[in-house]
Amino acid sequence: MEQNNQIEILRPFGPSVAKVKIPEKLLNDLNEYIDEIILDEKKIAKQDHGSKLAGNVSQEFKLEEQFIMSSGLGKFLSNSVLNWLKFSGINDIKNFYLISSWIVRQFENEYNPIHWHKGHVSGVGYLKLPKTFGTTKQPHDKKNQNGKLELIHGSRQFLSNSSIKITPELGYFYFFPHYLMHGVYPFNNTDEERRSISFNAKIDEEKFNVYG
């Protein structure tokens, strides 16, 4: 009797990452709000967040709590995280506490070094992108990593990669656990802005603490 060989692909080791489309209205509201903020020197000074973040970028500032709630950003982040965790096998999450959310304005030759966040869950969404991230010194010999987000976990082993490079897509948000190391590469040949939004949040401690 001939037996068919079948292969079942199991979920790989390591943390899961979710990719979620940002609603168009929320995307537009965020950009309009940011465009207004950057023209207000008093608000920029008050909401400046660069001293507490890792980025070597032009500007980083916190979003106001009132705007987070009225714009629907808080609801979008909460719903996205709960759905991501549900599809990852974690159900019955009762709490979502947003610690903070902030904007990163990155321009030519700026970068965000490898770092991680506090809280339990985090993520980054893309609000505005340059038409091009420019070229490399050896464009024919090396893959162009300009402007990309790199997520890093563990060490490279046989059948196990340690990182993934993500090319930013306008209007998409990526969610990942807070401890996942990540960084952003610089870009060149443009004066346009790479604008992103990030956040830190906590969920039920008993769900996050897998050690009990």
pLDDT digits (tens, 9 = 90+) for 27-72: 999 999 999 999 988 888 888 877 777 788 989 999 999 999 999 9
| pLDDT (0 to 100) of residue 74 | 98
More confident residue, 71 or 13: 71
Range of the domain at 125: 18-206
The answer to whether position 2 is within a domain reads no
Contacts 24+ apart (CB under 8 A), 129-134: 129/168, 129/170, 129/192, 129/194, 129/195, 130/187, 130/190, 130/192, 130/193, 130/194, 131/190, 131/192, 132/189, 132/190, 133/187, 133/188, 133/190, 134/108, 134/187, 134/188, 134/189, 134/190
The answer to whether position 45 is within a domain reads yes
The answer to whether position 4 is within a domain reads no
**Residue in the structure block whose two tokens are 């959310």:** 101
The answer to whether position 8 is within a domain reads no
Residue range 73-99, pLDDT digits in tens: 999 999 999 999 988 888 899 999 999
For the chain, give the mean pLDDT.
90
Q: Is residue 84 a contact partner of residue 175, using CB atoms and an 8 Å limit?
A: yes
99: CATH? 2.60.120.620
Strands (E), 116-203: 121-128, 149-152, 163-166, 172-177, 181-184, 194-203
| pLDDT (0 to 100) of residue 141 | 65
- Give this prediction's pTM: 0.91
**Residue in the structure block whose two tokens are 């039920």:** 204
The answer to whether position 114 is within a domain reads yes
The answer to whether position 5 is within a domain reads no
